[in-house]
């Protein structure tokens, strides 16, 4: 079998393909996007006719994957951590229904918030749903765990969650492939009531999930992904989960750590392994990427017993991702820092690309809203969130997918007029439409600016589910046709744009202004592709 140089995300994708999936479902979100993109490029995926198109949001993705599992086939669904909040309803209930074909949920967390609004730790979701979950420590484990997870899922009739973090998602290493497992044929569940969560059935299903808990724990205790490493120095025992294990080993040059170590990549937390470590050492040091998930469980409420060090007592920072230096400090190892960074180095935050249509919209909006102020402009998740930074300072919120419209409605309900929402086309499709219907039903005086660049731009220009449909959808939601306005955001149209925005800001009802121009990056990419195609 061959070796491939793969990102952690790509290792998961290859693992899913080789694990016999018939479908992958996802909505783009850093750092998870490359999983779907890899499957979309894969020749094998094409040959095997694996379903591999983007979903409108994480909830629709999760439900479609559950449907494929219901029909007896293996499916994987991928998202970033906050995407699991959107998919939480079907995710939590999938633990109760169980599966038919193997079902794997991959969630990529973003500690340090490189491209996110929070750094929530998805292991809590695994525990919340009471299902088995995995945290690969490297690209090889990401591949192996994903490939094997479908068998595991079917064996215990449960969905399985795989949690990775940014540094594994976006780092490459050579991965040894194993053979391809066969795809499954269509078959309905043996128990025809398995997926009917009426209270009387759900209670039985829930008991079945609870009865499985001891199996899940036993599997974790004996898992090849959890290991006990002996060490001579019993002053400290170390628990290292996921990629924290790599940072630990980095500090011993890949050689032998002098302390006993429990490495964890398979949950629930293997109690016996940790008990053994606790019994034979004087104190524990817990290294984990994310929240103090294992640390809290070991410490309990009263921390009765030996000292437990980690993120809770300040041995490691309470927030942000780990790195080899932070782990070194926790181990009492000193690094010599040779150079300091001079103080004249300026920050270089991300910015809107030259020629981006959002620039023209913000310039027009800032002029149109000048008499009222930008506090009343609520916005959303996407490239246009960069409008919060200078030179624009145009927007006053960015909370979650779709929140611009509903928050603007709340602001209007509070008596502020005018209230404005700025939202991208893909975000509108993802979670904006329901909010628009609320606004229409209440005839809320809000002006909703939809930035239609025909792409999910921030994550790399994936296609959107709303291409060419935004105007129709707004009409169908009940927005008065006179108050659905469209313009092309270009500098030469500045005055027209300001005028349209002013008119709609003055309107005491729901108005939608669609700024329609393709993402410049996608435009450039498509031109390049065209050129290459002509050449070849």
Find the binding residues for other proteins in span 342-381 (CB under 8 A): 342, 344-353
259 lies in the site for other proteins, by CB under 8 A: no
| Helix intervals (H) in 268-323 | 271-280, 293-299
**Comparison of 16 and 257: residue with beta carbon closer to other proteins:** 257
- Out of 339, 371, 414, 481, the only residue in the binding site for other proteins (CB under 8 A) is 339
Question: CB 172 → other proteins: shortest distance, Å?
Answer: 5
164 lies in the site for other proteins, by CB under 8 A: no
Task: Note the residue count of the chain.
Answer: 536
174 lies in the site for other proteins, by CB under 8 A: yes
108 lies in the site for other proteins, by CB under 8 A: no
- Note whether 76 and 16 are within 8 A (CB): yes
**Comparison of 100 and 453: residue with beta carbon closer to other proteins:** 453
- Dihedral of CA atoms 185, 90, 79, 362 in degrees, nearest 10, equals 130
- Note whether 1 and 177 are within 8 A (CB): yes
Cα distance from N-terminal residue to C-terminal residue, the chain = 31
Count of residues that bind other proteins according to CB under 8 A = 50
Can you tell me the distance from the alpha carbon of 257 to that of 251, in angstroms, rounded to the nearest whole number?
A: 8
What character string, x for contact with other proteins (CB under 8 A) and - otherwise, covers 185-224?
----------------------------------------
**Comparison of 151 and 250: residue with beta carbon closer to other proteins:** 250
What character string, x for contact with other proteins (CB under 8 A) and - otherwise, covers 287-326?
------------------------------------xxx-
- Out of 12, 24, 75, 383, the only residue in the binding site for other proteins (CB under 8 A) is 383
250 lies in the site for other proteins, by CB under 8 A: yes
533 lies in the site for other proteins, by CB under 8 A: no
142's CB contacts (< 8 A; 6+ apart) are 8, 11, 12, 15, 136, 162, 164, 168, 175
Pairing of strands 261-264, 227-229: antiparallel
- Out of 336, 414, 482, 492, the only residue in the binding site for other proteins (CB under 8 A) is 336
338 lies in the site for other proteins, by CB under 8 A: yes
458 lies in the site for other proteins, by CB under 8 A: yes
Can you tell me the distance from the alpha carbon of 235 to that of 309, in angstroms, rounded to the nearest whole number?
A: 12
372's CB contacts (< 8 A; 6+ apart) are 418, 505
Cα 23 versus chain centre, distance: 19
213's CB contacts (< 8 A; 6+ apart) are 130, 268
What character string, x for contact with other proteins (CB under 8 A) and - otherwise, covers 32-51?
-xx-----------------
- Count Cβ atoms below 10 Å from residue 45 Cβ, excluding itself: 20
DSSP letters along 19-33, please? TTEEEEEE---TTTH
Find the part of the chain contacting other proteins (CB under 8 A) among 224-232, 340-348, 397-405, 485-493.
340-348
Structural tokens at position 352: 């809107």
| Helix intervals (H) in 251-353 | 271-280, 293-299, 324-331
**Comparison of 80 and 123: residue with beta carbon closer to other proteins:** 80
Question: CB 250 → other proteins: shortest distance, Å?
Answer: 4
Q: Which residues pair with 421 in a beta bridge?
A: 378, 448
518 lies in the site for other proteins, by CB under 8 A: no
532 lies in the site for other proteins, by CB under 8 A: yes
Question: CB 245 → other proteins: shortest distance, Å?
Answer: 8
126's CB contacts (< 8 A; 6+ apart) are 132, 133, 161, 163, 267
**Comparison of 470 and 519: residue with beta carbon closer to other proteins:** 519
Question: CB 528 → other proteins: shortest distance, Å?
Answer: 9
- Out of 75, 96, 175, 243, the only residue in the binding site for other proteins (CB under 8 A) is 243
Can you tell me the distance from the alpha carbon of 454 to that of 512, in angstroms, rounded to the nearest whole number?
A: 17
**Comparison of 66 and 519: residue with beta carbon closer to other proteins:** 519
Secondary structure of 187-206 as H, E, C letters: CCCCCCCCCCCCHHHHHHHH
Using DSSP, state whether 38 is helix, strand or coil.
helix
Question: CB 171 → other proteins: shortest distance, Å?
Answer: 4
**Comparison of 142 and 308: residue with beta carbon closer to other proteins:** 142
459 lies in the site for other proteins, by CB under 8 A: yes
- Note whether 420 and 380 are within 8 A (CB): no
Structural tokens at position 298: 């070991």
- Out of 179, 254, 332, 481, the only residue in the binding site for other proteins (CB under 8 A) is 254
**Comparison of 460 and 509: residue with beta carbon closer to other proteins:** 460
**Comparison of 322 and 408: residue with beta carbon closer to other proteins:** 322
- Note whether 176 and 140 are within 8 A (CB): yes
Find the binding residues for other proteins in span 410-439 (CB under 8 A): none
Question: CB 249 → other proteins: shortest distance, Å?
Answer: 4
Q: Interface with other proteins by CB under 8 A: which residues?
A: 5, 7, 30-31, 33-34, 114-115, 167-168, 170-174, 243, 246-247, 249-250, 254, 323-325, 328, 335-342, 344-353, 383, 386, 458-460, 532, 535
């Amino acid at each position: 079998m061959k070796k491939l140089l793969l990102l952690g995300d790509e290792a998961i994708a290859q693992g899913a393909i080789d694990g016999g999936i018939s479908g992958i479902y996802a909505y783009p979100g850093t750092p998870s996007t490359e999983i779907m993109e890899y499957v979309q490029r894969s020749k094998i995926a094409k040959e095997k006719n694996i379903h591999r198109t983007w979903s409108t949001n994480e909830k629709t993705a999760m439900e479609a994957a559950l449907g494929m599992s219901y029909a007896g086939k293996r499916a994987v669904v991928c998202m970033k951590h906050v995407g699991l909040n959107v998919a939480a309803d079907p995710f939590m209930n999938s633990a109760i229904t169980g599966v038919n074909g193997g079902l794997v949920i991959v969630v990529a967390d973003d500690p340090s918030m490189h491209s996110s609004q929070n750094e929530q730790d998805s292991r809590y979701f695994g525990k919340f749903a009471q299902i088995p979950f995995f945290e690969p420590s490297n690209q090889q484990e990401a591949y192996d765990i994903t490939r094997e997870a479908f068998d595991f899922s079917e064996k215990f009739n449960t969905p399985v969650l795989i949690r990775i973090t940014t540094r594994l998602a976006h780092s490459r290493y050579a991965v040894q492939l194993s053979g391809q497992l066969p795809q499954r044929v269509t078959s309905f569940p043996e128990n025809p009531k398995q997926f009917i969560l009426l209270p009387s059935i759900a209670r039985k299903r829930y008991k079945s999930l609870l009865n499985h808990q001891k199996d899940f724990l036993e599997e974790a205790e004996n898992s090849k992904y959890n290991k006990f490493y002996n060490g001579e120095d019993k002053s400290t025992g170390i628990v290292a989960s996921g990629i924290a294990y790599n940072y630990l080993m980095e500090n011993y040059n890949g050689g032998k750590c002098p302390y006993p170590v429990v490495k964890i990549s398979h949950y629930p937390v293997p109690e016996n392994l940790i008990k053994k470590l606790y019994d034979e050492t004087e104190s524990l040091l817990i290294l984990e990427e994310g929240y103090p998930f294992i640390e809290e469980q070991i410490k309990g409420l009263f921390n009765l017993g030996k000292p437990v060090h980690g993120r809770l007592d300040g041995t490691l920072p309470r927030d942000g991702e780990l790195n080899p230096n932070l782990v070194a400090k926790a181990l009492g190892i000193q690094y010599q820092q040779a150079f300091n960074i001079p103080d004249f180095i300026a920050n270089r935050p991300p910015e809107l690309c030259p020629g981006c249509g959002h620039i023209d919209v913000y310039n027009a909006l800032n002029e149109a809203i000048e008499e009222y102020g930008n506090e009343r402009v609520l916005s959303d998740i996407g490239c246009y969130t960069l409008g919060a930074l200078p030179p624009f300072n145009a927007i006053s919120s960015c909370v979650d997918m779709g929140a611009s419209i509903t928050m603007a409605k709340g602001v209007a309900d509070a008596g502020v007029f005018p209230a404005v929402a700025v939202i991208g086309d893909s975000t509108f499709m993802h979670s904006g439409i329901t909010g628009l219907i609320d606004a229409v039903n209440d005839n809320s005086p809000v002006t909703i600016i939809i930035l239609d660049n025909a792409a999910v731009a921030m994550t790399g220009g994936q296609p959107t589910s709303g291409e060419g449909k935004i105007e129709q959808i707004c009409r169908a939601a009940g927005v008065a046709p006179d108050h659905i306005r469209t313009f092309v955001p270009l500098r030469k149209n500045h005055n027209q744009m300001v005028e349209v925005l002013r008119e709609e800001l003055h309107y005491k009802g729901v108005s939608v202004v669609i700024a329609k121009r393709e993402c410049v990056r996608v435009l450039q990419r498509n031109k390049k592709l065209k050129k290459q195609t002509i050449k070849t």
